[in-house]
C-alpha cells in the first residue's frame, strides 16, 4: 500500500480532529434530546401503569372484602333461630355477588342447604377434602384455592365462615374471572393496549385479557415473584425489538397478584414521529464519519483482531492457523509474515521435542511393564508363599497367643498382596490389553471409587471400536492422571468419566465438582504454574494428535475433554 502524501495526511488529521468530533457532538445533542424525551415519556407511562394497577388491585380488594362481609353476615344470621331458607331470602340482594351460589354445610363438608348451582355444590359435598373450608379454629372467613368445577369447566373460589351456635359452615362461591372482568373494565376499557393477568399464589392464571394474552406465564415472568411476595411496582422489560412496561401489585386478601403489561411506545409513538425527523439533517455528515471509521476498522482493527486470535491458536499449537492471510495494511501483513516464520521454526523445534518425548514415554511404559511383570511374577508370588507358610504354621501351633500373632501376619500378607496387585494394575493395565479401552476405563473408575472418598461414575456412548495400542494407552493414562489429580487436589466428592464414540471422532471427558483452579492461558504456562500433571496430559494428547480442552471455575469444578 502506498503511503499517504503530506497533504492527504493533513486532511485526514483535520477530519479526525475537527469534522468528526463536531459531527458526533451535533448528533449527540440532536439524538440525545430525542432520547431524553423518550425516557421521560417512558417514565410517565410506567408511573401511570403503576398507579392504575394499584387502583385496580384496591378495587379487587374492596370487592373481596365486600364478599367476606356478606358471608360474615350470613354466619351471624345462622346463629339466630332462623331457618336456612329464610336466611337466603333475607340476604337475596347480597347473594348476587356469588355467581357460584351460597350453601350451608356441616363441619364434615356435607351439604345442608343451597341457593342454586346444584351440581357444583353436590360435587363439593362429595369431595370436601379438595377444598379449604372454615373450621371452629378460624376466627375470620377463609378463602379456598381456585377449584375447577367439573360440570361447567369454570374456576371458582369459595369464601367460608364458621357459625359456632349451629356448628355449621356458610360458604359462597364466586368466579375470579367474572369478578376481574367486572371490576377491571372501568380501569382498563376495551381497546386499550394493556394486557392484564390475575394469578393466584400458585401462579395459576385466573383471568387474562389484552393483546398479549397467553394461556400461562413462565415462572420467571417479570413482576410475578415480586407481586406474590407482597410488593408493588413497575419494571421495564426488553422483548425482541420493543420494550414493555410491566406493572404489578398484590391482592393481600387472597395472596393473588395483578400484573399488567404493554408496549410503552404504542402509547407515545405518534407524538414522537415528528421530533424524530429533526436529527436526520445530520445523517450525511455522520455517514461520512462512519465511512472513515469503517476504513480504519476494516484495514487495521479487524486484521489485528484476527491476527490476535490466530496468535492465541498458535500458542496452543495450531501452526496452520497463522498461515491464513488476515489482510489489512502492509504493516499488519509484515507482522503476520514474521509470526509465520517464527511459527515454522517453533514447529520444527517442537517436532523434534515430540519425538524425544515420545521416546521417553515409550521407555517409561516399557519400564512400567517390566516392573509390573517382576512384581507379579516374583514379589507377589513370594508373599503368597509366605502367606501359605503362615497358614501351615497356624496348624502346628497350639498356643492362643501364637495363633493370634500368625493370624495378624496372615492378614498383613493378604493386604500386601492386594496392594501389590493394585500397584501392578496401575503400572500395567491388563484390562486395556485384553478387553479394550472401555473396560479398562470402567475398572479404573471402580478402583478409584473403592480406594478414595470419591464417587466416580463411568458412562459409554456409541459403539466401541479398538484403536491403536498407542492411542488406547494414551487415553487411559490421560484418564488415570486426571482422576489422580482430582483425588489429590480438587477436594471433590464426585467425578464423571465418559467416552463417546461417533463416526468421525472419539471424545473422552473427565469432570468433577471440586474447588477448581485458574486455567493457564496456554500450555507454555503449565510448568511455571506447577501444573505438571496437565503438562503430561497435554503431551500425551499431542502425541496421538488429539485436541485437549480444559475448563475450570474456582469453586465450581473442572472439566477436561480430549477429542481424537
Is residue 8 pLDDT above 50, yes or no?
A: no
Q: What is the pTM of this model?
A: 0.45
Is residue 300 pLDDT above 80, yes or no?
A: no
pLDDT band at 2 (very low <50, low <70, confident <90, very high): very low
Euclidean distance between CA atoms 514 and 558, whole angstroms: 7
Tens digit of each residue's pLDDT (9 = 90 or more) over 107-141: 888 888 888 788 888 888 888 777 788 887 888 89
Range with the lowest mean pLDDT among 388-392, 515-519, 536-540? 388-392
Short-list 241, 197, 242, 240, CA closest to 222: 197
Residue 562 burial class via C-beta count within 10 angstroms: exposed 0-12, middle 13-18, buried 19 and up: buried
When comparing pLDDT for 326 and 296, which is higher? 326
> Can you give the pLDDT at residue 114?
84
> Can you give the pLDDT at residue 293?
62
Are 251 and 53 in contact by the 8 Å Cβ rule? The answer is no
DSSP helix, strand, coil percent of the chain (3-state; round to 5): 55, 20, 25
pLDDT band at 185 (very low <50, low <70, confident <90, very high): confident
Q: Is 73 helix (H, G, I), strand (E, B) or coil?
A: helix
Average pLDDT estimate for 421-430 = 67
Euclidean distance between CA atoms 357 and 348, whole angstroms: 14
Tens digit of each residue's pLDDT (9 = 90 or more) over 51-82: 989 999 999 999 999 889 888 888 888 777 77
Beta-strand runs (E) in 76-116: 102-106, 111-114
> Any idea which residue has 492527504 for its cell?
8
Q: What angle do CA 164, 166, 168 make, to 5 degrees?
A: 80
Is residue 11 pLDDT above 50, yes or no?
A: no
Is residue 273 pLDDT above 60, yes or no?
A: no
pLDDT band at 323 (very low <50, low <70, confident <90, very high): confident
Q: Is 164 helix (H, G, I), strand (E, B) or coil?
A: coil
Average pLDDT estimate for 500-519 = 89
Residues 428, 433, 435, 437, CA torsion sign: positive
> Can you give the pLDDT at residue 234?
92
> Can you give the pLDDT at residue 3?
42
Is residue 418 pLDDT above 80, yes or no?
A: no
Range with the lowest mean pLDDT among 185-199, 485-499, 519-533? 519-533
When comparing pLDDT for 154 and 301, which is higher? 154
pLDDT band at 151 (very low <50, low <70, confident <90, very high): confident
Average pLDDT estimate for 350-373 = 62
**Percentage above 90 pLDDT, the chain:** 10
What is the greatest pairwise CA distance in the chain?
114
> Can you give the pLDDT at residue 334?
82
Euclidean distance between CA atoms 72 and 159, whole angstroms: 10
Strand-pairing partners, residue 553, are 557
Cα–Cα distances in angstroms (integers) from residue 379 to residues 299, 369, 414, in the given order? 71, 15, 13
Domains and CATH numbers, the chain: 8-36+275-306 (no CATH), 45-274 (3.30.450), 318-428 (no CATH), 429-564 (3.30.565.10)
| Count of beta carbons in the 10 Å neighbourhood of residue 188 | 19
Euclidean distance between CA atoms 479 and 473, whole angstroms: 10
> Can you give the pLDDT at residue 65?
92
Are 128 and 147 in contact by the 8 Å Cβ rule? The answer is no
Mention every residue, 6+ apart, whose C-beta is less than 8 A from residue 481. Answer: 533, 536, 537
DSSP of 28-57, one letter per residue? Answer: HHHHHHHHHHHHHHHHHHHHHHHHHHHHHH
Are 417 and 384 in contact by the 8 Å Cβ rule? The answer is yes
From first CA to last CA, the distance across the chain in angstroms is 43
Average pLDDT estimate for 481-500 = 89
Q: What is the grid cell recorded at 115?
A: 341457593
Average pLDDT estimate for 281-297 = 65
Tens digit of each residue's pLDDT (9 = 90 or more) over 209-253: 877 666 677 777 888 888 989 999 999 888 877 888 999 999 988
When comparing pLDDT for 274 and 505, which is higher? 505
> Can you give the pLDDT at residue 1?
38
Cα–Cα distances in angstroms (integers) from residue 492 to residues 444, 456, 513, in the given order? 17, 10, 5
Average pLDDT estimate for 552-562 = 88
Euclidean distance between CA atoms 173 and 157, whole angstroms: 5
Average pLDDT estimate for 314-340 = 76
Q: What angle do CA 481, 487, 493 make, to 5 degrees?
A: 130
Cα–Cα distances in angstroms (integers) from residue 228 to residues 68, 256, 529, in the given order? 21, 6, 51
Name the most confidently modeled range: 25-29, 275-279, 420-424, 447-451: 447-451
Euclidean distance between CA atoms 252 and 242, whole angstroms: 32
pLDDT band at 274 (very low <50, low <70, confident <90, very high): low
Is residue 161 pLDDT above 60, yes or no?
A: yes
Is residue 468 pLDDT above 50, yes or no?
A: yes
Name the most confidently modeled range: 37-46, 200-209, 259-268, 333-342: 200-209
Range with the lowest mean pLDDT among 24-28, 68-72, 204-208? 24-28
> Can you give the pLDDT at residue 353?
57
> Can you give the pLDDT at residue 362?
63
Short-list 466, 386, 479, CA closest to 433: 466
Would strands 168-174 and 147-149 be described as parallel, antiparallel, or unpaired?
A: unpaired
Range with the lowest mean pLDDT among 7-11, 33-37, 62-66, 437-441? 7-11
> Can you give the pLDDT at residue 6?
41
Count of residues making up the chain: 564
Euclidean distance between CA atoms 345 and 347, whole angstroms: 5
Residue 385 burial class via C-beta count within 10 angstroms: exposed 0-12, middle 13-18, buried 19 and up: exposed
Is residue 142 pLDDT above 80, yes or no?
A: yes
Amino acid at each position: 500500500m502506498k503511503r499517504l502524501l503530506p497533504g492527504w495526511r493533513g486532511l485526514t488529521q483535520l477530519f479526525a480532529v475537527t469534522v468528526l468530533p463536531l459531527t458526533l457532538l451535533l448528533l449527540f445533542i440532536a439524538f440525545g434530546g430525542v432520547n431524553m424525551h423518550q425516557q421521560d415519556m417512558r417514565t410517565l407511562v410506567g408511573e401511570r401503569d403503576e398507579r392504575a394497577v394499584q387502583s385496580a388491585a384496591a378495587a379487587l380488594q374492596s370487592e373481596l372484602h365486600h364478599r367476606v362481609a356478606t358471608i360474615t353476615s350470613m354466619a351471624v344470621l345462622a346463629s339466630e333461630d332462623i331457618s336456612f331458607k329464610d336466611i337466603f331470602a333475607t340476604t337475596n340482594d347480597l347473594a348476587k355477588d356469588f355467581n357460584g351460589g351460597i350453601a350451608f354445610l356441616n363441619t364434615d363438608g356435607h351439604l345442608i342447604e343451597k341457593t342454586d348451582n346444584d351440581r357444583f355444590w353436590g360435587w363439593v359435598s362429595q369431595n370436601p377434602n379438595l377444598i379449604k373450608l372454615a373450621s371452629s379454629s378460624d376466627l375470620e372467613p377463609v378463602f379456598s384455592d381456585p377449584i375447577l368445577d367439573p360440570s361447567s369447566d369454570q374456576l371458582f373460589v369459595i369464601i367460608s365462615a364458621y357459625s359456632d351456635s349451629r356448628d355449621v359452615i356458610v360458604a359462597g362461591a364466586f368466579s375470579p374471572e367474572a369478578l376481574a372482568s367486572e371490576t377491571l373494565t372501568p380501569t382498563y376499557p376495551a381497546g386499550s393496549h394493556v394486557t392484564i393477568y390475575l394469578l393466584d399464589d400458585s401462579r395459576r392464571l385466573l383471568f387474562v385479557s389484552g393483546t398479549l394474552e397467553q394461556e400461562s406465564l413462565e415462572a420467571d415472568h417479570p413482576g410475578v415473584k415480586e407481586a406474590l411476595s407482597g410488593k408493588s411496582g413497575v419494571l421495564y422489560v426488553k422483548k425482541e425489538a420493543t420494550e414493555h412496561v410491566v406493572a404489578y401489585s398484590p391482592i393481600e386478601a387472597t395472596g393473588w397478584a395483578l400484573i399488567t403489561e404493554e408496549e410503552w411506545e404504542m402509547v407515545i409513538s405518534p407524538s414522537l414521529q415528528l421530533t424524530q425527523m429533526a436529527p436526520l439533517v445530520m445523517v450525511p455528515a455522520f455517514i461520512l464519519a462512519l465511512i472513515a471509521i469503517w476504513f480504519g476498522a476494516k484495514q487495521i482493527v479487524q486484521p489485528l483482531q484476527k491476527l490476535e486470535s490466530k496468535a492465541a491458536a498458535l500458542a496452543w499449537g495450531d501452526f496452520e492457523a497463522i498461515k491464513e492471510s488476515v489482510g489489512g495494511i502492509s504493516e499488519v501483513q509484515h507482522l503476520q509474515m514474521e509470526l509465520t516464520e517464527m511459527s515454522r521454526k517453533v514447529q520444527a523445534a517442537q517436532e523434534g521435542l515430540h519425538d524425544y518425548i515420545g521416546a521417553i514415554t515409550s521407555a517409561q511404559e516399557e519400564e512400567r511393564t517390566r516392573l509390573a511383570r517382576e512384581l507379579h511374577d516374583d514379589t507377589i508370588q513370594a508373599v503368597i508363599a509366605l502367606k501359605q507358610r503362615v497358614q501351615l504354621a497356624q496348624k502346628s501351633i497350639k498356643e492362643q497367643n501364637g495363633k493370634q500373632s500368625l493370624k495378624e501376619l496372615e492378614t498383613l500378607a493378604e493386604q500386601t498382596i492386594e496392594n501389590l496387585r493394585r500397584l501392578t494394575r496401575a503400572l500395567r493395565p491388563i484390562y486395556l490389553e485384553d478387553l479394550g479401552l472401555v473396560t479398562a476405563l470402567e475398572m479404573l473408575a471402580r478402583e478409584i471409587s473403592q480406594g478414595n472418598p470419591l464417587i466416580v461414575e463411568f458412562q459409554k456412548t456409541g459403539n466401541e471400536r479398538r484403536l491403536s495400542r498407542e492411542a488406547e494407552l494414551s487415553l487411559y493414562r490421560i484418564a488415570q492422571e486426571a482422576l489422580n489429580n482430582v483425588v489429590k487436589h480438587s477436594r471433590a466428592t464426585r467425578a464423571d468419566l465418559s467416552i463417546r464414540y461417533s463416526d468421525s471422532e472419539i471424545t473422552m471427558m473427565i469432570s468433577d465438582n471440586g474447588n477448581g483452579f485458574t486455567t493457564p492461558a496456554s500450555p507454555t504456562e503449565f510448568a511455571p504454574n506447577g501444573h505438571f500433571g496437565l503438562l503430561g496430559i497435554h503431551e500425551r494428547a499431542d502425541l496421538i494428535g488429539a485436541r485437549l480442552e480444559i475448563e475450570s471455575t474456582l469453586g465450581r469444578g473442572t472439566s477436561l475433554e480430549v477429542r481424537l
